[in-house]
Structure 1
Amino acid sequence: MKCEQYEDLFTDFINQDLSIPERENMEQHLAACPNCTAQLLAMQQLWNIMGTIETPQPSAHLQVKFNAMLNTYKQEVAEQKNGFWQTAKAGWSRLWQMQPQWPMAYNLAILVICLGGGFFYMHNSGSNNNDKQLQALNNEVHELKQTMMLSLLENPSASERIRGVSYTPEIKHADKEVIDALLATLNNDPNVNVRLSTLDALSHLANHPEVRQGLIQSISQQDSPLMQSAIADLMLKLQEKKSITQFKELLKQKNLNTTVRDKISQTIKILI
């Protein structure tokens, strides 16, 4: 077996889901392959870190609001059905009172038309109300995710702040509050891993002009070689020529990491 085939079994190996022969074969390969051993250890460490992250419990207010929305929806559906049959019954009564001389067949034809039109109206009306309810529920979920993200960004735990940043892709329409919070985290968070995670999240929002501008301004505020290198990679990926000025200012720093200096110089050449 090739290394790629063993790598596909890493997850089962960690979870102890391999058969005895497969596990023995894996252990023999790991003993002779330092690269696979290093990758397996890195994966194990990542899983251990993920295992320490607690899943947030929904608040009591969330359950109350959901139940209220659900009850309101059920009540509206019931009212629509009752209203339709009451209207149909009243129309049938008026039909017989006003036109008693019509033949039975003609009356039945009119009734069928009325019922069909009423059903069509109720179906369309119900569909519109369902769409409105779903839209309202989607908006509510979006607001909850945004609130949770903003709250986690202020958590003293770095792992919690990273978890908050990870909610960014789930927020379909990032507003100014979200963007400002992410940029503040990018520039001010004391943990470089949190800042790296935030940079990755902001890279997916680079279609927002304010995000691009914030990323460019952040270049001069980063003192970590990891962050400086990561921003250089992102600006190169975005082909953001407006970042050249900031990179040139960064090159003026006497204590700039040599590897970072070479990377930024190369980035400027490519962007020019």
Structure 2
Amino acid sequence: MEAKLNCEGVQEELMDWLAGTLPAAQHQALEAHLTQCPGCHQELATVRALWTNMGELPVPAPSEQMRPRFYSMLAEFQVEEQRKQRWSVAGIMEQIREWWQPAYGMRVAYSLALLLVGLVAGYVLKGSPETSELAVQQPTTTAPVASQADVHQTQVLAMLNNPSAVQRLRAVSYAEEVAPTNERVVAALLSTLNQDPNVNVRLASLEVLTGLTQDPMVRQGLVRSLTLQDSPLVQSALADVMVQLQERRSVRPLRKMLKQENLNEQVKDKIEQSIESLSGDKTPQPSTSSTSHETDNYTKSGVPAAVVA
């Protein structure tokens, strides 16, 4: 900026001057102009009053559903991007790189070897007279066909172990349909909640498990998960769950969490509020779980809505 400024240039720089972001030379030139121009000085007073009033505006508190909705939107966006790239050359190559791990290669080779051995054995046995007579004498039996639920279970468990966080998010989304009638999928979701390196995947697992808290195994698993979490987002979400379900068994692990070093201050406040709510004389809300009648030393547990990597 030149040493001398006109009124229009000065008024454009007033907000930056108040924010302290102008370079030193521009800052001095602007102050020199303000001392000589009553009009710009009056404009400065108006802008400063507006600046002060804006700073005093109350900051609205975020909605309790903001975080779950954000992760839900993020997961939907990632899945949509994945779908768009599926049929592109780059997308096909990326999927090949994701799925074709050394372990998968060994499995495919092993399966092909078994298939080849089976074909050779079948050809040899078919040509043997003794085998043909035995086949006529003995009734044939059909091998059991895997049910659709077993197929879905296998797909979900395989995708939960995929190196790609997007694939694991999709697996959690699919698990929402399978988990209510499949204990292995429920156990896998609890393991994902406690061990997955991606926070989005853990929050998505928590969201699915929220709808399964009528299962005592799920409620107990959520209580145990409290002390296993290191992410402030997951810790806060689980604390909300405990209050939602009034799970009194969570009071002891919540107090144990307060003793953790480097615990996030906001999470600490959330835990203290949860303990106060769970330890008070408030009437517990009805629960569909079989563990609704617990002693006063425990609390009922529930899971807030969160999202689907």
Name the Cα RMSD after superposition: 2.8
- Structure 1 pair 263–147 and aligned structure 2 pair: CA distance change class (3 A): same
Identity among equivalent pairs (%): 44
1:238, CA displacement in angstroms?
A: 1.3
Q: Tell me the CA shift for residue 227 of structure 1.
A: 0.5
Q: Is structure 2 residue 196 aligned with structure 1 residue 167?
A: no
Partner amino acid, structure 1, of 2:205: T
Letter in 2 for 1:216: V
Q: Does 1:208 align with 2:237?
A: no
**Hey, what does 2:89 align to over in structure 1?**
none
Whether 2:59 is the aligned partner of 1:52: answer no
Q: Distance in 2 between matches of 1:233 and 1:203?
A: 11
Tell me the CA shift for residue 42 of structure 1.
Answer: 9.9
Are the counterparts in 1 of residues 79 and 170 from structure 2 also a CA contact under 8 Å? no
Q: Tell me how far 1:176 sits from its aligned partner.
A: 2.5
TM-score, length basis structure 1 = 0.51
Where 1:159 maps in the other structure, the secondary structure is helix
CA contact (8 A) 1:152 1:161 kept: yes
Change (3 A) 1:46 1:156: closer
Instruction: Tell me the equivalent position of 1:129.
Output: none
Give the count of matched residue pairs: 152
Give the C-alpha shift of residue 203 in structure 1.
1.0
- 1:157 counterpart residue number: 164
Q: CA deviation at 1:47?
A: 5.6
Q: CA deviation at 1:49?
A: 1.7
1:133-172, Cα deviation, whole Å (9 max, x unpaired): xxx99x9332222221111100000011011011122126
Distance of 1:173 and 1:264 partners within structure 2: 29
Alignment of 1:211-226 (within 5 A): 211-226=218-233
Greater helix content: 1
**Aligned position for 2:257:** 250
Question: Deviation digits for residues 167-225 of structure 1, max 9, x if unmatched?
Answer: 12212643331121111111110001100001111111111111111111110000000
- Using the size of structure 2 for normalisation, the TM-score is 0.45
Q: CA deviation digits over 1:26-73, x for unaligned, max 9?
A: xxxxxxxxxxxxxxx9999666422233489xxxxxxxxxxxxxxxxx
Tell me, yes or no, if the aligned pair for 2:75 and 2:169 is still in contact at 8 Å. Answer: no
Residues 1:160 and 1:267: Cα distance change in structure 2 (over 3 Å) = same
Please give the alpha-carbon distance, in whole angstroms, between the structure 2 residues aligned to 1:43 and 1:253.
30
Rounded Cα–Cα distance in structure 2 between residues aligned with 1:167 and 1:215: 20
2:269 to 258, 262, 270: 262
Pairing 1:179–2:186 present: yes
Instruction: Write the letter of the residue equivalent to 1:53.
Output: Q
Relative to structure 1, the CA distance from residue 266 to residue 42 in structure 2 (aligned partners, 3 Å threshold; closer, same or farther) is: closer
1:61-210 to 2 correspondence within 5 Å?
140-171=147-178, 173-210=180-217
CA distance in 2, matches of 1:159, 1:225: 22
* Structure 2 gaps, min length 5: 1-69, 87-94, 96-143, 280-309
